[in-house]
Structure 1
Amino acid sequence: MFYASLFWDYLKNYMKTRLTYRADFWIEVLSDLLFQAMNLFFILAVFLHTDYLGGWNQAEILFIYGFFMIPYGVFSCFFNLWNFTERYIVKGEMDRVLTRPAYHLAQLVLENMDPASLVGSLAGAVVMGYAWTQLDITLAWYDPIVFIVLLIGAVLIYLGVYASLTAVSFFIDAPTGILPLMWNIQNYGRYPVNVYNRFIRALLTWVIPFAFVGFYPASYFLDRANWGWAALLTPVVGLIFAFIGLSIWNYGVRRYRGAGS
């Protein structure tokens, strides 16, 4: 209840701030939608020249991409820490965070949450819905529950990877540029892994498991016989990487000694 009340208070403050400058809010929403539209345009352009990509047709690729957008929108809303090094380490705001009774990472999440990013998740659901109408997919009664579990697992993977990389700021004095690189790598997860060579496939599955934020969980509904086993590993991989990420983060916080002079 304590964190629920904190979330509600931060959300109210967010809405008051954003509604003061409503044009900025809608411009942010529009820019996010335009970015997603450009990615969709690229996929559609590819299928102007071929009917299949790695054995997957256009509707299936759109379904995978739509799934990919949903957990990424949730993650972007609640882990918007791209400027962590500059704001909290260089400027010393981490000292302020550590003097408060709430868990430090929870404070950072609430201070930087960006509900406008959830529009991307909504757009992903629309893309999935459209692709669904083009596919012959039958659902079991438990599939909606599986869908939610897979989404949670994908979000946990994002949390684990980016918590680990953000924690690097506790060990160095300057930004490393790793986050933008990782952001580019994660986009590989919106395509089937069988279109890549063995090295990239292993990298996206076991080292930087972005295949589990898009392709593997989506393939549970598209080709369960061949990929269902991998899809069901999504929550397991999510828990493992979330544990690793939070452990590195907590270690970094313990190592932090303040901004200095």
Structure 2
Amino acid sequence: MFHLQLLIEYFKQYMKTRMAYRGDFLVQFISNFFYQALNLIFILVVFQHTRSLSGWGQYEVIFIYGYFLIPWAIFSSFLNLWDFNDRYIIKGELDRVLTRPVHSLVQVIMETMTPESLIGVLTGVIVMGFAGWHLDLTWTWFDLVLLLLFTAGSVLIYAGIYITLTSISLYTDSKSDIQPIIYNIGNYGRYPTNIYHRVIQFALTWVLPFAFVGFYPASYLLDHGEWKVYALLTPVVGLIYLGIGVFCWNRGIKHYRGAGN
């Protein structure tokens, strides 16, 4: 409850600062929406040249993309760790964080959150609804429960992977990192995994499990039973990778020696 209350207070302060420049805040919403729309247009262009991708139709791929947007939007809203190296290591702000009686990772998450990115959740729901309408999908209350569980698991997978990558910064003062590369790999999760080579399928399932942030959960919601086991493993994989991320962070904090002079 203490951390939840702290999160609410941070959120209030963030919104106060953003509302000081309402136009900029609105433009951020609109730009995020159009960026996601461009990716959808790319899928539509692909299907102008082919009827299916390894047996997956146009609206099925659009549905997978819609699901992919939801956990990504939640993750990027509350675990915005992209500038961690520059802000907390190079500029030494992590030293300030470590003097406070709250877990350092929790503080960093609260200080870097960008709630306006949640527009992606709405976009994802709209895209899924649009595709589901064309596919004549029938949803039950159980499907909605699974959607929430799958989304939570996908967010935890993102969190675990990127917290682990961010932890590397605690061992070095370099501004460069591999997060942009991993971000590009993560985009593979927005398409059916079986369109890739078997080596890539294995990597996207068991090494960098981005198949669980898009394809596997969405395929189950599309009634593709052959991926059922993988889809149901999504929350479990999320907890495992989050555990790895927190472990790496705690080890990195113990190794961190301060910004120095």
- Shorter-normalised TM-score: what interval? over 0.9
The equivalent residue for 2:116 is 116
Q: Normalising by structure 1, what TM-score?
A: 0.97
Moved more, 140-149 or 101-110: 140-149
Q: Over residues 83-109 of structure 1, what are the superposed CA-to-partner deviations in whole Å (9 max), with x where a residue is unaligned?
A: 101110111100110111111111111
| Alpha-carbon distance in structure 1 between the residues aligned to 2:180 and 2:92 | 23
Match of 1:200 in 2: 200
CA distance in 2, matches of 1:173, 1:141: 49
Show the 5 A alignment for 1:174-189.
174-189=174-189
| Compared CA separation, residues 224 and 140, structure 1 to 2 (3 A) | farther
Equivalent residue number for residue 56 of structure 2: 56
Q: In 1, are the aligned partners of 2:77 and 2:118 still within 8 Å (CA)?
A: yes
Looking at structure 1, the residues matched to 175 and 234 of structure 2 have their Cα atoms a distance apart, in angstroms, of: 30
SS of the residue corresponding to residue 49 of structure 1 reads: coil
Gapped runs of 5+ residues in structure 2?
none
Q: In the TM superposition, what whole-angstrom CA distance separates every residue of 1:56-110 from its partner, at most 9, and x where no partner exists?
A: 1111111100000000000000011111011101111001101111111111111
Structure-2 residue corresponding to 1:227 = 227
Gap runs ≥5 in structure 1: none
- Post-superposition offset of 1:12: 1.0
Check if 1:98 corresponds to 2:98. Answer: yes
The CA distance in 2 between the partners of 1:77 and 1:138, in whole Å, is 30
Residues 108-141 of structure 1: per-residue CA shift (max 9 Å, x gap): 1111110100001110111001111011323344
Residue 243 of structure 1, CA deviation: 0.6
* One-letter identity of the residue aligned with 2:233: L
Alignment of 1:6-45 (within 5 A): 6-45=6-45
Alignment partners' CA distance in 2, 1:4 and 1:191 = 35
CA distance in 2, matches of 1:23, 1:229: 46
Deviations 1:144-201 (A, max 9, x none): 1111111100000000000000001011120333011111110000000010001111
Task: For 2:221, give the aligned amino acid.
Answer: F
Distance 2:123 2:142 in 1: 24
Hey, what's the Cα distance between the residues in 1 that align with 2:68 and 2:19?
29
Instruction: Give the equivalent residue in structure 1 for 2:213.
Output: 213
Aligned: 1:165 with 2:165: yes
* CA distance in structure 1 between the aligned counterparts of 2:99 and 2:173, rounded to whole angstroms: 22
Change (3 A) 1:170 1:126: same
CA RMSD of aligned residues (A): 1.0
User: 2:122 is matched by which residue type in structure 1?
Assistant: L
User: Aligned AA for 2:10?
Assistant: Y
Please tell me whether residue 146 in structure 1 is matched to residue 146 in structure 2.
Answer: yes
Distance 1:208 1:236 in 2: 14
Alignment of structure 1 residues 70-89 onto 2, 5 Å: 70-89=70-89
CA contact (8 A) 2:153 2:234 kept: yes
Separation in 1 of the partners of 2:64 and 2:182? 20
Identity within the alignment, %? 54
Equivalences, count? 261
Amino acid at match of 1:26: L
